[in-house]
């Protein structure tokens, strides 16, 4: 499941905020396997993740995926650029989930998501802001 795990820059915060919702049943099952049963499980902080500027492990079953891209690629590129800058992530970089969470905690506040995630349909649900606030509280 987590072998060869890759994330687009914006997916680090998506994984943090994931709460069982997705674009399709297969997408949700994949996210649950990677995030809930992998990263959030005991020992998940040691999971290695390679930053990728194309479709990644979370994108695999997404109905919007088109080869290495997305049906709304311009929006995804903009999200990735903002998140890569905020988190100082570079294509090909490898870090653990624990290191990623530390970087998120040091560099991003919940209200920053209004700008970082502008245009994301999941932002209005407040799941990511809640998860980020929990991370800052040490929960």
Mean pLDDT across the stretch 83-100?
97
pLDDT category, 1, cuts 50, 70, 90? Answer: very low
Tokens of 111: 């209200």
Query: How confident is the model over 16-47, as pLDDT tens digits?
Result: 999 998 888 999 999 999 999 999 888 899 99
Angle subtended by helix axes 127-137 and 97-107, to nearest 10: 90
Look-up of token digits 């674009």: 23
- Give yes or no for a contact between 33 and 53, defined as CB atoms under 8 angstroms apart: no
CA distance 106 to 57: 25
In eight-state DSSP terms, residue 36 is I
Domain count, the chain: 1
Whole-prediction pTM? 0.92
For residue 51, what are the domain limits?
5-137
Helix (H) or strand (E) holding 95: strand 94-96
């Amino acid at each position: 499941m987590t072998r060869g795990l890759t994330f687009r820059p914006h997916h680090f915060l998506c994984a943090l905020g994931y709460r069982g919702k997705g674009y399709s049943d297969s997408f949700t099952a994949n996210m649950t396997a990677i995030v809930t049963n992998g990263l959030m499980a005991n020992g998940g902080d040691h999971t290695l993740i390679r930053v990728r500027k194309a479709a990644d492990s979370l994108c695999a079953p997404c109905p919007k995926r088109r080869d290495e891209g997305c049906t709304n690629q311009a929006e995804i590129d903009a999200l990735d650029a903002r998140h890569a800058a905020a988190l100082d992530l570079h294509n090909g970089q490898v870090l653990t989930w624990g290191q990623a969470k530390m970087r998120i905690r040091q560099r991003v506040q919940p209200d920053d998501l209004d700008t970082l995630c502008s245009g994301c349909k999941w932002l209005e649900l407040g799941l990511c802001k809640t998860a980020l606030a929990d991370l800052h509280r040490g929960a």
